Amino acid sequence: MTTRRLLDRDEALRRLETRLGPLHAQLRLGMEREHEAQAFGQGLSFLHLENLPLMQAMIEVGLRVTGTYWRGRANAGKVQVRHNTVRLENLPSAFDGFTILHLSDLHADLSGPAMQRAAELAHGLKYDLCVLTGDYRGRTHGDCGPCLEAIARLVNRYAETSTRCSATTIRSPWFPTWRHSAFACC
């Protein structure tokens, strides 16, 4: 089994420039910087409640007092597979039976049990394309390393179990680290 590793910033930029070209890579990074500045108050992040150091603890205390904390934790780990059939009149015959595995709103940095359950569900799934869409993170600021590591572990698990993809055939995904975003992994 090949295990994916996280890329350092220079290697990630090199790969992004290879895929998009230097100009489009810089434009994309500029859009992300603008989005971050807009989302986080042009550097005034202390004005956003979610960025207050005690906010997460305050929310947890509130949930515990109301008795919903453990229920929410249990519900977060109840990841399910749902099958949806989409019929399109003008779909080319090459796509007849094409299957897409869509993983969404993983909040990988907040729910270890949910990520574990998502990895367990990989066994036996057959799909032609796996697409991950945001929210990748639950937090809106801080170190994105734990989120990236959890996503890498999940991608490795799906590569191990897929009949069509492997860790060596999955392109190194590059994706924005803000919460609402999307990328295709294989």
Q: Tokens 């992994």 map to which residue?
A: 185
> Which residues have C-beta within 8 Å of that of residue 146, sequence separation ≥ 6?
108, 109
pTM value is 0.64
Q: Give 68-107 pLDDT, tens digit per residue.
A: 999 988 898 899 999 999 999 999 999 999 988 888 888 8
Question: Which tens digit of pLDDT belongs to each residue from 153-162?
Answer: 888 888 777 6
108-118 residues labelled b (16+ CB within 10 A) or e (exposed): bbbbeebbbeb
Low-confidence ranges of the chain (pLDDT < 70): 1-7, 36-48, 50-51, 53, 140-141, 162-186
Q: Domain spans of the chain? A: 98-186
Distance separating alpha carbons of residues 129 and 186, to the nearest angstrom: 6
Asked if residue 140 lies in contact with residue 175, where contact means CB atoms within 8 angstroms, the answer is: no
